[in-house]
Copies of this chain bind each other. A is one copy, B any other.
Amino acid sequence: MKSETILEQAALHCESRGRKLTAKRRQVLAGLVKSQKALSAYDLADYCRDKLGTSLLPTSVYRILEFLESLGLVHRLNTANKYVACAHVTCDGANEIPQFLICQSCGSVKEIGITKSFVQGLSQAVEKVGFHLANNQLELECLCADCVVQQGGVQ
């Protein structure tokens, strides 16, 4: 899907919640959408400076990412300290619980859905030992198909 279309959808999503997708916010989201991979806040500040010629300080990037995340437009990857555009920006609010496959070699990210029964099984195993699952978002360290080939198979 064209990134312009995605950004338009995102703008509508913001409007429907009474928020605005401002120029700066659009820049940050566009950076994530176009890169197709996980970027840090500092990566995005560099992107705005180098590719767009607009200054955007890391602190502002953090604020904007927080905003975008609160609307479900981006996700924060805790294991990588990076952010990705939500793969379901265009398919309305009813997102599944996001699960991320993160290529440790090139940083590309695949967002997948995992069956409810699977998550439930996990949740039950956790409850069994007296803990409660507070976040269903899994982040899995992977290699993407390209990088598996490059590295000559599984290490």
Binding site for B on A (CB under 8 A): 78-79, 101, 103-104, 110, 112, 114, 118, 121-122, 125-126, 129-135, 137-145, 148, 154-155
Q: How far is the CB of A47 from chain B (nearest CB, A)?
A: 24
Q: How far is the CB of A112 from chain B (nearest CB, A)?
A: 6
- Interfacial chain B residues near A118, Cβ < 8 Å: 121-122, 125
Pair B79/A131 contact, Cβ less than 8 Å:
no
User: SS class of chain A's interface: helix, strand, loop or mixed?
Assistant: mixed
- Interfacial chain B residues near A114, Cβ < 8 Å: 122, 125
User: Which of B125, B134, B135, B145 makes the CB contact (< 8 A) with A112?
Assistant: B125
Pair A110/B129 contact, Cβ less than 8 Å:
yes
* Across the A-B interface, the 9 shortest Cβ-Cβ residue pairs: A135-B141, A131-B142, A130-B145, A78-B79, A101-B131, A132-B143, A134-B141, A132-B148, A134-B143
Separation of A143 and B79 alpha carbons in the complex (Å): 18
Separation of A110 and B135 alpha carbons in the complex (Å): 16
Pair B129/A101 contact, Cβ less than 8 Å:
yes
Smallest CB gap from A104: residue in B: B134
Q: How far is the CB of A98 from chain B (nearest CB, A)?
A: 13
- Interfacial chain B residues near A134, Cβ < 8 Å: 104, 141-143, 154-155
Separation of A41 and B150 alpha carbons in the complex (Å): 34
User: Which of B79, B133, B140, B143 makes the CB contact (< 8 A) with A142?
Assistant: B133
